[in-house]
């Protein structure tokens, strides 16, 4: 019984460590662009680090990058020629659904979705 208690205690200590990883998605979706440039980061130690890395990767392909969303579990970004949407949630499906809903379904397509 003692071993079982120690195991649960050890697993409980590991779980909060995993929950603190952060991700972000940055995009350059200038109006009229067919395929927006984007960059993402996952597994970062805080929001600022995730946003900085996502912007860095986005700027390798775009000039007007901005952070669209940061997340602790899953994040997604959808766009069309005139509209965009972002979402986050506990699963990729929830994040994607939110992104498409915020985009308004105006011929929006999922651009990127990532999870920790």
Residue 12 in domain: no
For residue range 87-104, list pLDDT tens digits in order.
999 999 999 999 999 998
Residue 48 in domain: yes
For residue range 4-21, list pLDDT tens digits in order.
333 333 334 444 444 569
Residue 57 in domain: yes
Residue 15 in domain: no
Residue 63 in domain: yes
Q: Give me the domain span that covers residue 48.
A: 20-115
Asked whether 95 and 74 are in contact (CB, 8 A), the reply is yes
pTM of structure: 0.76
Residue 14 in domain: no
pLDDT at 71 over 90: yes
Degrees, nearest 5: CA angle 75-80-85 = 30
State the DSSP H helix or E strand holding residue 30, giving kind and residue range, or none if neither.
Answer: none
pLDDT of residue 75: 96
Residue 38 in domain: yes
């Amino acid at each position: 019984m003692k071993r079982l208690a120690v195991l649960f205690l050890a697993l409980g200590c590991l779980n909060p460590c995993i929950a603190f990883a952060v991700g972000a998605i940055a995009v350059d979706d200038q109006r009229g662009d067919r395929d927006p440039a984007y960059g993402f980061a996952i597994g970062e130690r805080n929001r600022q680090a995730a946003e900085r890395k996502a912007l860095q990767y986005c700027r390798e392909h775009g000039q007007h990058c901005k952070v669209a969303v940061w997340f602790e579990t899953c994040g997604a970004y959808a766009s069309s020629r005139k509209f965009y949407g972002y979402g986050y949630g506990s699963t990729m499906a929830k994040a994607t659904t939110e992104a498409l809903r915020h985009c308004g379904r105006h011929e929006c397509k999922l651009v990127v979705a990532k999870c920790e």
